[in-house]
A and B are shown apart, each in its own frame.
Chain A
């Protein structure tokens, strides 16, 4: 499809995009209004952020998404769906130590449907301790709470290979406790958090397209930051006690596995079978039942990162590990390194990110043919093929190289131009890309021009 058609289609029939553009003149200033001058309580403050960004993707088989919660990928040609977002925030200070914060966003990639990102009551308990109860942004990785706030970030977006999966759940319903204390020239910030996440994943990489609902419960985590004058280090550890995914496709799979396990168990009851064979079939049936709800289990997220201001240089880096304790999902780890240098209002930068699967695919040996019942064996083979396909689809291995420049041309606006090259290990690995069918050309070039605003 011609690129110009995509351009016209994107701009002409999207009232939401026009709304974003129409708001631009209103974003005249930021700062004075967001900071209490001579506060009297209660006090109400409004602020907001927006990103107007267009991307050009050169791959007709692989879309680019900031998360799998994004309904519409940035497919081949021009698109405004990857980064464009409008956010508004209300801070209501009831007393100098008690406040309520609400923040909503609307993303072009999610058809501008409003989503609540922050909704909490904050209580300061002395100078060192504060508590937030309600919905907070995900504090799991170094930059996971800032992914949609383009102005606050150097690049067009945090590195997708390591943030793409995590961005699917941008919030945590629960709360956190923050404790802050200086030790010499280092301020230690300890943030303990907990709660649950309910989210929806739109899976363009599986056929048929379907919505998967995810529930992360019993989420607990601890982030420790060492804040030096020019550099911040942050270590975080998050446990997801119970992870459950639900979708129509999974329900069909589970029903099939249940039937197959029942069939194998029925075979085991055949009195003509030798005892060892019968016991083997009983064991096989139990192993098949273990494959029901293959995505469910627990998960551990670990991150170690830094952000340094060294004169005109800005250096950022992070190592992350995701260790799901489920049959289907494999352990991945990755890192990103970013360097930028300021020349007045201009900051060119370069960034490299890599995310790799570290453990083997799902073991589907339990679905090998019994050799006793052709119809049952055909069902086992079909289920094995489907599970192997899903296991391969959950390989998020991806690397990216990004080069760009940020131009802070106004006091509350920044223009960014960024080129990204994404690559997955092979033509059958989707990585964090939105791919319908494999094999595909597993390299994607994306050019982004974006305007970030805070107001």
Chain B
């Protein structure tokens, strides 16, 4: 049986780990990466917003844009949307609920983590994703560094 002390300890651990985790997210370099063949070298936050909200669907050369998102519970994802699109996670979910249930669109493909996102971006022509990992090799393009 849990005691109040257990709950207190759990709460303390939760608070501390939350703080440490957020500090880690804040320090990681958030980058928007794209397949090397996409016809742009840079995108701005406005373009990234429209790409990840799937309002903008083709690159300038006609290639289909394939945005790669991260899973719902990813803090990197929340940070990306806050920084780049100015939307809170709840606002984003409301946006996709609207798109889905009115038949106007479906959310982007989702990767399990940064590494899978980078792999998908590297493999799929037209793909664009984001990552907070330190190492981004030359197999993808960095097209936006929000900070």
* Chain A positions near chain B (C-beta within 8 angstroms): 29-32, 34-39, 47, 49, 87, 89, 91, 101, 103, 118, 120, 122, 127-128, 132, 136-137, 145-146, 149, 151-154, 178, 180, 182, 185, 187, 189, 227-230, 309, 311, 314, 342, 344-345, 347, 408, 411-412, 414, 454
Residues of A near B62 (CB, < 8 A) are 127
Minimum CB distance partner of A148 in chain B: B101
Chain B, range 77-109, C-beta contacts under 8 Å to A = 85-91, 93-98, 100-104, 106-109
Are the C-beta atoms of A47 and B58 separated by less than 8 Å? no
With an 8 A cutoff between CB atoms, is B56 at the interface?
yes
Identify the 3 closest CB pairs spanning chains A and B, nearest first: A408-B90, A152-B98, A229-B46
Number of A-B contacts (CB under 8 A): 123
Prevailing SS type, chain B contact patch = mixed
Residues of B near A227 (CB, < 8 A) are 50, 55
- Bound-state CA distance A454–B90 (Å) is 12
Residues of A near B97 (CB, < 8 A) are 30, 49, 149, 151-152, 454
Q: Taking each of A31, A36, A87, A189, which has the highest tally of chain B beta carbons within 10 Å of its own beta carbon?
A: A31
Residues of A near B87 (CB, < 8 A) are 309
Given contacts A101-B103, A149-B97, A185-B46, whether A411 and B109 have CB atoms under 8 Å apart is no
Residues of A near B86 (CB, < 8 A) are 230, 309, 311
Minimum CB distance partner of B97 in chain A: A152
Residues of B near A29 (CB, < 8 A) are 72
Are the C-beta atoms of A411 and B93 separated by less than 8 Å? yes
**Neighbour of A35 across the interface among B47, B73, B107, CB < 8 A:** B107
Are the C-beta atoms of B58 and A127 separated by less than 8 Å? yes
- Bound-state CA distance A77–B23 (Å) is 50
- Bound-state CA distance A29–B73 (Å) is 11
Residues of B near A128 (CB, < 8 A) are 57-58
Chain B window 101-135, contacts with chain A (Cβ cutoff 8 Å), 1 for yes, 0 for no:
11110111110000000000000000000000000
Given contacts A187-B50, A311-B86, whether A229 and B45 have CB atoms under 8 Å apart is yes
Minimum CB distance partner of B87 in chain A: A309
Given contacts A37-B110, A91-B106, A342-B91, whether A187 and B72 have CB atoms under 8 Å apart is no
Question: 12 A-B Cβ contacts within 8 A?
Answer: A30-B93, A37-B109, A132-B103, A146-B101, A180-B57, A182-B58, A227-B50, A230-B86, A309-B86, A411-B73, A454-B93, A454-B97
